[in-house]
Structure 1
Amino acid sequence: MHIQVILRVIGLLIMIFSIALVPPIIVSLIYSDGALMAFIYALIINLVSGFLIWLPFRKYRGDLKIRDGFLVTVLFWTTLGLFGSVPFALTSSPDLTYTDALFESMSGLTTTGATILTSIDNLPQSILFYRQWLQWLGGMGIIVLAVAIMPMLGVGGMQLYRAETPGPVKDSKLTPRIAETAKALWYIYATLTALCTLGYWIAGMSFFDALCHSFSTVAIGGFSTHDASIGYFDSVTIEIICTVFMVISAINFGMHFYAWRTRSIWHYFRDPEARFFFLMLGSTIALATLVLILTSTFNWQTSLRYAVFESVSIATTAGFSTSDFSVWPHFLPFLLIVTSFAGGCASSTGGGMKVIRILLILKQGFREIQRLVHPNAVIPVKVGGKAIQERVVSAVWGFFSAYLLVYVILMIGLMATGIDQVTAWSAVAATLNNLGPGLGEVAANFSSINDPAKWMLCVAMLLGRLEVFTLLVLFTPMFWQK
């Protein structure tokens, strides 16, 4: 374990993150919204803190190993949540406790979208921008951004990329060099953001709203500059644009890179994970529309409109809203929350367990049924006609077990603080899946729950963003053995 190198990297990354406070400062200057000094003080605190961490170890050099990469990733996301909360804690509007400030910061950076804020429409524009900006930075992973410039800083990046990149297979690269891979991902990410901004602006949003909502749409975060979320605009065109970009952002970004390089889109329909993702979305939309029509909740046009948007929003873990799905009839609220457990595809900005894992679990289950009939047969698990290594299948089952165990422990912990079962169940799902909205007391926001529960949910957000294992591995004795 190279502790000196790790601390040097952490200091560098915190200093890099402090630069992210410059855009909110510019927004505060433009709108004269009264939050300027909070961001200036926050920038100074972050920059100086990062410098003091980096200074004693500035001369240490060396390549990061696998274990170093895990530790840097966890430490950075943890410290990032802490330093990201400084502007929220210093500003008088909103007037937040530190627990609430940390919750909002962690929710933004992990693209969860759960909020403790109320009267969002009345907040300073720089605070509104900062919330969306945090989600945009967290969407692709700020570490991947840092990895793109790590060669210039004398730090190897592949170990960070392996620790940060989601999905069952972490060693795939779009380009031969890791820095070029990170840059390619960010070019795609920035391009989608620009196109989404333009679409929203043309559809009728102000440029400020268009830019802010494009940040949270492409990041699949769900924060909005209005209490009513996307429903504030009451525009079918805006909802269609939002839906399209949520789906695009929930698909493997490697496929977007391939589409850009080959100028073709047919591989989206040949990819097993993408096809299964589309099947899940289509089935959920059809069922939700049917139930809303049969229960006379809305007319058929409104039923289809709300079912499409809410199904895509919840299933991709974006968490935008045009209708309060928590009061929809029968099993629909439960069904939509359950779809968030699958979330987006691997290597996307979506949360959840990832679609490829759910697909592999289903195929493994079907194989076990076949083995009951043919106990001596050798039946490989195949995806796209290719056999999957048993090591990968085993890892997926291990991840699934750990995910459910963490979920149960967190839910029991929340209930121990006095929260009712429905609220606890959905609150953990909303944070662990990086979804945002829940049911019961957390259907609108998380302001009413107690502080111990908020701290536990911050841990849930971090676990969900790092896909559980990246954080849990630090608590194993083997990790610390030489």
Structure 2
Amino acid sequence: MNWRGIQRLIGLLLGFYSLSFIPSLGLSIFYADGEAVHFAIASFITGMLGVVLWLPVRRDQSELRVRDGYFVVALFWAVLGVVGAIPFIIGLHLDFTDAIFEAISGFTTTGATVIQGLDALPPSILYHRQQIQWLGGMGVIVLAVAILPLLGVGGMQLYRAETSGVTKDEKLSPRIMHTAQILWGIYFSLTVACALAYLAAGMDLFDAVGHAFATVSTAGFSTHDASIGHFDSLAVEAICITFMILGGINFAIHFAVWQRRDPRRYLKDPEARAFLLILAASGLFVGLSLFVAGAYLGLGESLRRALFQVVSVMTTTGFGTADFSEWPRHVPFFLAMLAYVGGCAGSTAGGIKVVRVILLAKMGSRQMFALAHPRATVLIRLGPRPVPEEVVYSVWGYYTLYLMVAVILTGGMMAAGLDLESAFGATTASLNLLGPGLGEVASSFATVNAPVKWLAIFAMLIGRLEVFTLLILFTYAFWRQ
């Protein structure tokens, strides 16, 4: 391991992150909510920690290897949780576990919370919660990749570790810094458009910006206890649905649409097309289920509630206009399965990802065909392109490991005191970066014990880093050399 290079990079990243407390500090002064000194302290501590790490190795120019990149990504997400929790500890007086949980939940775009009474919180604290999930949405590491090459720090290893899905080797441009800049340009543009749309729909500026951060990042923190239901507005819900879907689509497709000025690219991409079809079919199924069960008056209201919740769950945003845990029993289970499917690869959403589910279905179909035609050779295709066998095996390995982790975490949470429904709901909510769960964690994790929260923190990190990036650190082969 290149420990000096890792130390230098973590120090630089912390130095940059210390600047992120400035907007919250400014808001605290503007609203006179008494939190300004706490954000100043958080910024100072983070900045000094960065300087202490960077200064002794500032002249080191060694390049990080792929193995170093995986370690830096996993380590920095954990470090972010600690420094991001400082305002919650000294401002809201949360204990260490709750503060880390809230910060990790924000950075990983999970949206699960232990805080109750959001409407009464200081505005600067609310903004801090919204901002950390926005930074986590595209990945603070990818942001650093766009900046750190200017300082002589290579970024390709970080980018490969951060985007460890099936599209990890695809770049939008030959230069990795330019790729990261393109991603953030699209992300920022969608956020601005979402905020303006919310403003036009009647939100005030604070709520519009805060909810734009949460919507495009598919994170789900809100500035109100009732989430999007607080506004009780069809226009707000329609805007939210639109931008949750955009956040759940591969950002490379957004780039292709923008570059060629052709929205039809969304329907030409097999993953995006499948994603939209699943959303439409699921919304119709849940809406009809609610209508038949008499949960709401009229088919229109049932479809409205269903479509919003289906989009919110499948994109793993976690916004709510209703408590779906109180819907007919089969509906929450169906929604939990949608959370495991998740959004598209290369998006801000969590879950297994639609492209992997497509490939798994094609693998099953190929196996059935092979049983009937033993001598046939069948290639798996994604659109017109054949999928290399090493990618197919990687997807199968990812799926197997993902489900194994889910089962182990569910068992661990039951051992920590949760009933089966709550343990399954907590695992679904944290591993898939969803936020709301089932049973005791249907609305928040405030009432569960510390061991459950630490298991959920671990699950959120696994889900955010797509399993392999984090779990590889626990293998002997990784540390052998």
Q: 1:209 aligns with which of 198, 202, 207?
A: 207
Q: How does 1:15-414 map to 2 (within 5 A)?
A: 15-91=15-91, 94-298=92-296, 299-414=298-413
- 1: CA distance, partners of 2:51 / 2:80: 15
Could you list the per-position Cα deviations for residues 85-104 of structure 1 after superposition, in whole angstroms to 9, with x for gaps in the alignment? 1111111xx33111100000
Letter in 2 for 1:446: F
Aligned AA for 1:448? T
- Residues 41 and 139 of structure 1, relative CA distance in 2, 3 Å threshold: same
| Superimposed CA distance per residue, residues 60-119 of structure 1 (whole angstroms, 9 cap, x where no aligned partner) | 11111110110110111111111111111111xx33111100000000000000000101
Residues in 1 aligned to 2:68 and 2:416: alpha-carbon distance in whole angstroms: 35
Rounded Cα–Cα distance in structure 2 between residues aligned with 1:169 and 1:437? 28
Counterpart of 1:418 in structure 2 is 417
CA contact (8 A) 2:164 2:468 kept: no
Percentage identity across paired residues of the two chains: 50
How far is the alpha carbon of 1:13 from its aligned partner? Answer: 0.5
CA shift for structure 1 position 53: 1.1
| Alpha-carbon offset, residue 425 of structure 1 | 0.3
Task: Output the aligned Cα RMSD.
Answer: 0.8
In 1, Cα distance between the equivalents of 2:9 and 2:157?
12
Which segment is superposed worse, 154-163 or 50-59? Answer: 50-59
Q: Distance in 2 between matches of 1:166 and 1:139?
A: 15
Please tell me the residue identity of whatever aligns with 1:13. Answer: L
Kindly provide the amino acid, as one letter, of the partner of residue 344 in structure 1: G
Residue type at the aligned position of 1:179: M
What is the CA–CA distance in structure 2 between the aligned matches of 1:55 and 1:316, rounded to whole Å? 41
Deviation string, structure 1 residues 146-181 (Cα, Å, up to 9, x no partner): 000111111110110000014213111101110000
Q: Which amino acid aligns with 1:272?
A: P
Distance in 2 between the 1:439 and 1:354 partners?
21
8 A contact 1:166–1:346 mirrored in 2? no
Residues 227-263 of structure 1 deviation map (CA, whole Å, 9 limit, x = unaligned): 0000000000000000000001100000111111111
- Name segments (4+ residues, structure 1) moved above 6 Å: none
What is the CA-CA distance between 1:275 and the residue it aligns to?
1.1
2:370, 2:376 within 8 Å by CA — same for their partners in 1? yes
Whole-Å Cα distance in 2 between the matches of residues 320 and 214 of structure 1? 12
Residue identity matched to 1:139: G
Amino acid at match of 2:176: I
1:47 is paired with a residue whose SS is helix
- Show the 5 A alignment for 1:438-453: 438-453=437-452
Contact kept, 8 Å, 2:6 with 2:68, in 1: the verdict is: yes
Q: Distance in 2 between matches of 1:404 and 1:297?
A: 32
Which residue identity lines up with residue 172 of structure 2 in the other structure?
L
Contact 2:351 2:463 in 1 (8 A): yes
**C-alpha distance in 1, partners of 2:221/2:167?**
30
Q: Distance in 1 between matches of 2:279 and 2:448?
A: 31
The alignment partner of 2:22 has SS state of: helix
Mapped partners of 2:164, 2:383: distance in 1 = 20
Query: Matched residues in 2 for 1:377 and 1:143: separation?
Result: 45
Give, as a single letter, the amino acid of the residue that structure 2 aligns with 1:225: T
> 2:419 & 2:54 partners in 1: Cα distance?
45
Partners in 2 of 1:286 and 1:452 — Cα distance?
39
**3-state DSSP class of the match of 1:208?**
helix
8 Å Cα contact 1:246/1:312 also seen in 2: yes
Could you tell me whether the CA contact under 8 Å between 2:28 and 2:36 is conserved in 1?
Answer: yes
Give the residue type in structure 1 aligned to 2:7. Answer: L
**Where does 1:9-20 land on structure 2 (aligned, <5 Å)?**
9-20=9-20
Confirm or deny: 8 A CA contact 2:108 2:464 kept in the other structure.
Answer: yes
C-alpha distance in 1, partners of 2:56/2:71?
Answer: 19
1:343, 1:354 within 8 Å by CA — same for their partners in 2? yes
- Size of the aligned set, in residue pairs, is 480
User: Which stretch of the first structure deviates more once superposed, 448-457 or 293-302?
Assistant: 293-302
Contact 2:413–2:452, Cα closer than 8 Å, also in 1: yes
Given that 1:316 and 1:343 are in contact with CA atoms closer than 8 Å, whether structure 2 keeps it comes out as yes
Q: Is the 8 A contact 1:217 1:242 kept in 2?
A: yes
* Separation in 2, partners of 1:196, 1:320: 15
By how many angstroms is 1:302 displaced?
1.0
The answer (yes or no) to whether the contact 1:166–1:347 under 8 Å persists in 2 is: no
Q: Give CA-to-partner distance per residue, 1:130-154, whole Å, 9 cap, x none.
A: 0000000000000000000111111
Deviation track 1:168-224 (CA, whole Å, cap 9, x = no partner) reads 131111011100000011010000000000000010000000000000000000000
**Aligned-partner residue type, residue 351 of structure 1:** G
Task: Check conservation: 1:285, 1:308, Cα contact below 8 A.
Answer: yes
CA contact (8 A) 1:86 1:101 kept: yes
Asked if 2 retains the 8 angstrom alpha-carbon contact of 1:230 and 1:322, the reply is yes
* TM-score when normalising by structure 1: 0.99
**Distance 1:358-1:196 versus aligned 2 partners, 3 A rule:** same
Deviations along 1:419-461, one digit per CA (max 9) or x if unpaired, are 1110000101100000000010111111000001101110000
Tell me if the contact between 1:99 and 1:451 (Cα under 8 Å) persists in the aligned partners.
yes
